[in-house]
């Protein structure tokens, strides 16, 4: 395909390339000459020596590059929403550009984190590779369109992007993240730590959900429960779903790495990879054990919270992981019993599709008993107190009763009750963990 600058998007990207190149050269000169010492401040840098003008020039170039990056990003989302390469690539580049600035600012303030140093260096390389690719791809693929995104229903698009993030699931994951944070601190954590951990966690969960819907967009069309999702229904383009998911996932990593710690960021990234690649791309359609193995993705958030508070993982963190890991199969198998025809039609080998309703009901009961046993490990190992012990026994008893009803009675009504109650159970068991930790 022939490279061309006929599109306004390609021309703008080329201008961005040369400005970023000038910014990089100017930054290197400032470092080598020590010009940074002759112009104190940042936005109001006032040169005290001739060399100080070099730093001032670097600051001005950074401002111009930032504006251009925002213009390129805006133009991509307005005009290239159907371009499978350009929109995701522009989104990734934009996140890395401002992520690089964020990491650099944190390092300048005196942080000596080896993780941030490595992230800064890796981002520099990845940013330049992405920018060169965007220059080439924009000249080959970019088009000038007549119907831009502002011609569409903005309110509906906002609702669709929110739906793409699966806010109810995000909320449930944030409760478990905060539970890990509180038990790690053994007190109510500071506002700053709580805010950045939950923002990073919410973005990671939202990005994963969007990528999951991008992967499942064709499958979702065949299921009544998911047929009206934004990508399956065509209200958002496939490319928008991919770019949105990748962008949020990257932002979450930079936030957690910069404002929390490297371990929390890496765990969150592991959760994204686990859910998107291991579960969504492979396990979901490959094995009847998809939910059992894939449950590990949803079990990582409390570990993120615990790592955010402590900077390490120990038995407490792994037991929190195990609680959600064991909770996932009975929760989703109960839903699968209700939606078995959907899964069968879509070709997803869920337990009731492959092994039948009776075996699924029995497995729900077995896993529920195992779940309650796992929850008791915390007080048995003296990692939690009496408040949690009593709560886990009461809540566990109620959940076992619901699972028993599923096994012995059968029917969609009982299975749906188990599905809804298991969500409530998870919320209350983590509330008990938090209350116990601060008493």
Mean pLDDT over residues 183-197, rounded? 95
- What pLDDT band is residue 34 in, cutting at 50, 70 and 90? confident
| Residue 142 in this model has a pLDDT that exceeds 90 | no
Which pLDDT belongs to residue 151?
61
Give the DSSP letter string of 114-165: HHHHHHHHHHHHHHHHHHHHHHHHHHHH----SS-GGGS-HHHHHHHHHHHT
Mean pLDDT over residues 351-362, rounded? 90
Give the number of other Cβ atoms within 10 Å of residue 155's Cβ: 8
Higher pLDDT, 386 or 34: 386
Which pLDDT belongs to residue 38?
67
| Residue 147 in this model has a pLDDT that exceeds 60 | no
% the chain with pLDDT above 70: 94
Residue 36 CA to residue 439 CA, distance in Å, equals: 50
- What pLDDT band is residue 317 in, cutting at 50, 70 and 90? very high
Distances (CA, A) of 192 to 195, 210, 320, 374: 5, 27, 23, 32
Mean pLDDT over residues 218-240, rounded? 88
Is the CA virtual torsion 17, 4, 241, 299 positive or negative?
Answer: negative
Encode pLDDT of 41-79 as tens digits.
655 677 667 777 777 787 888 889 999 999 999 999 998
Q: What is the CA radius of gyration of the chain?
A: 25
Q: Which residues contact 244 (CB under 8 A, 6 or more apart)?
A: 91, 161, 164, 207, 210
Is the CA virtual torsion 301, 306, 310, 316 positive or negative?
Answer: negative
- Tokens representing 7 are 């599109």
Of 407, 406, 399, 332, nearest in space to 372 by CA: 399
Which pLDDT belongs to residue 266?
96
| Residue 275 in this model has a pLDDT that exceeds 80 | yes
Which pLDDT belongs to residue 435?
96
| Residue 169 in this model has a pLDDT that exceeds 60 | yes
When the pLDDT of each residue in the chain is averaged and rounded to a whole number, the result is 90
Higher pLDDT, 147 or 415: 415
The structure's pTM equals: 0.92
Which pLDDT belongs to residue 150?
59
CA angle 204, 207, 212 (to 5 degrees): 120
- What pLDDT band is residue 241 in, cutting at 50, 70 and 90? very high
Higher pLDDT, 205 or 62: 205
Distances (CA, A) of 405 to 136, 201, 245, 368, 398: 61, 35, 39, 12, 11
DSSP SS3 for 99: helix
Higher pLDDT, 105 or 393: 393
Mean pLDDT over residues 288-304, rounded? 89
Which pLDDT belongs to residue 26?
83
């Amino acid at each position: 395909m022939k490279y061309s600058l006929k599109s306004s998007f390609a021309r703008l990207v080329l201008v961005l390339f040369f400005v970023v190149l000038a910014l990089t050269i100017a930054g290197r000169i400032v470092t080598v000459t020590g010009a940074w010492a002759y112009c104190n401040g940042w936005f109001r840098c006032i040169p005290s020596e001739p060399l100080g003008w070099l730093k001032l020039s670097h600051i001005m170039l950074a401002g111009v590059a930032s504006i251009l990056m925002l213009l390129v990003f805006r133009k991509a989302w307005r005009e290239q929403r159907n371009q499978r390469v350009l929109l995701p690539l522009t989104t990734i580049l934009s996140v890395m550009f401002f992520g690089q600035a964020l990491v650099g600012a944190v390092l300048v303030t005196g942080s000596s984190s080896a993780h941030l140093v490595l992230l800064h260096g890796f981002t520099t390389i990845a940013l330049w590779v992405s920018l060169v690719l965007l220059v080439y791809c924009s000249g080959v693929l970019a088009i000038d369109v007549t119907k831009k995104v502002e011609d569409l229903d903005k309110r509906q698009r906002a609702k669709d992007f929110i739906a793409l993030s699966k806010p109810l699931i995000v909320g449930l994951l944030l409760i478990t993240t905060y539970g890990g944070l509180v038990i790690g601190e053994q007190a109510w954590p500071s506002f700053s730590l709580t805010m950045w951990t939950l923002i990073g966690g919410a973005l990671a969960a939202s990005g994963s959900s969007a990528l999951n819907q991008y992967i499942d967009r064709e499958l979702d069309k065949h299921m009544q429960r998911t047929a009206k999702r934004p990508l399956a229904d065509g209200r958002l383009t496939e490319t928008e779903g991919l770019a949105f998911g990748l962008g949020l996932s990257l932002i979450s990593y930079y936030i957690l790495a910069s404002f929390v710690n490297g371990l929390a960021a890496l765990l969150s990234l592991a959760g994204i990879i686990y859910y998107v690649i291991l579960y969504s791309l492979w396990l979901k359609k490959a094995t009847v054990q998809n939910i059992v193995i894939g449950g590990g993705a949803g079990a990582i958030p409390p570990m993120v919270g615990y790592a955010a508070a402590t900077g390490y993982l120990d038995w407490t963190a792994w037991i929190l992981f195990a609680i959600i890991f064991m909770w996932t199969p009975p929760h989703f198998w109960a839903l699968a019993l209700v939606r078995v025809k959907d899964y069968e039609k879509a070709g997803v080998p869920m337990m009731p599709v492959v092994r039948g309703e009776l075996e699924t009901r029995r497995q729900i009961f077995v896993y529920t008993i195992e779940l309650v046993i796992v929850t008791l490990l915390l007080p048995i190992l003296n990692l939690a107190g009496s408040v949690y012990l009593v709560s886990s026994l009461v809540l566990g008893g109620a959940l076992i009763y619901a699972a028993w009803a599923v096994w012995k009675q059968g029917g969609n009504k009982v299975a749906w009750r188990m599905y809804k109650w298991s969500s409530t159970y998870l919320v209350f068991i983590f509330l008990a963990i938090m209350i116990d930790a601060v008493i």
